[in-house]
Amino acid sequence: MATGIDTVWTRDDKEAAGPQPLSRESIVAAAIEIADSEGLEAVSIRRLATRLGARPMSLYSHIERKGDLIDLMVDEVMGGSVVSGPLPSGDWRDDLRRIAQRTRENIRSHPWMIAVAFRRPFIGPNALRHIDQSLAAVSGLPLPPERKRAVLLAVDTYTLGFVRWELKAMESDADDSGECGAGHDGGPSGAEIDAYIAAQAASGDYPHLHELGGKKNMSLGVKAEAFEAGLNWLLAGIQAEVGEQG
């Protein structure tokens, strides 16, 4: 059956004849390990070949281009966002909460996924299972289809946005401990930013910032309990609309 678009999942893994030390799965697993530890920009065919003890050209028997490799990496990671157990369970709030919690935990383990989410289409089998589970969670809501999609967009946007701030806070903590030195982009370190914000808060020009205690106290919101609180507020807002529609 024609799919209408060319994707890596509609093309066969071109395994050469004879014993093969490589596989698409082993290449993708190695690429994810590199991206997790050094960032997506560190992933290259040459780097993978060195890591796997293979010739660079041999990898092309399994993956034709780097875009395909990234798509396969993304979809492999997305398998970690699929929750166990059948959906819907009968409690749409609990279902959405479980999906959001699982997604947060998964993406935190693979920080490079945040940037990729806005550059590559998530259309692999695992990504589609995640989408299908999300649609199942809201299938019983008395809302038109476009509002159901808006619900899922709101939960996904909140979850990914929160993870982005968590990762940023983790980078700042690494700067403070001296693990990364100056800021990753050559800018000031987390400690230098904290000192600057604290001085501005103490100036009296920003009374509400002063009352909160500056950046240090503000950053305390990027914690698991803050994620749960924000998610509960979001779900309560959705419940309010559902109640009006019901």
Structure tokens at 60: 């092309």
pLDDT band at 16 (very low <50, low <70, confident <90, very high): very low
pLDDT, position 227: 93
What pLDDT, in 10s, does the model give residues 92-128?
A: 999 999 999 999 999 999 999 998 988 888 899 999 9
Residues 6 or more apart in contact with residue 72 via CB below 8 angstroms = 8, 24, 28, 63, 124
Residue 182 — very low, low, confident or very high, per pLDDT cuts 50/70/90?
A: very low
- Phi, psi angles (nearest 5°) of residue 70: -65, -40
Q: Which residue has the higher pLDDT, 56 or 201?
A: 56
pLDDT attached to residue 184: 54
Please tell me whether the overall predicted TM-score, pTM, comes out greater than 0.85 for this model.
no
Distance CA 173, CA 195 (A): 14
For Cα atoms 127, 104, 75, give the angle at the middle one, nearest 5 degrees: 20
HEC per residue, 66-106:
HHHHHHHHHHHHHHHHCCCCCCCCCCHHHHHHHHHHHHHHH
Residue 181's pLDDT is 44
pLDDT number for residue 17: 43
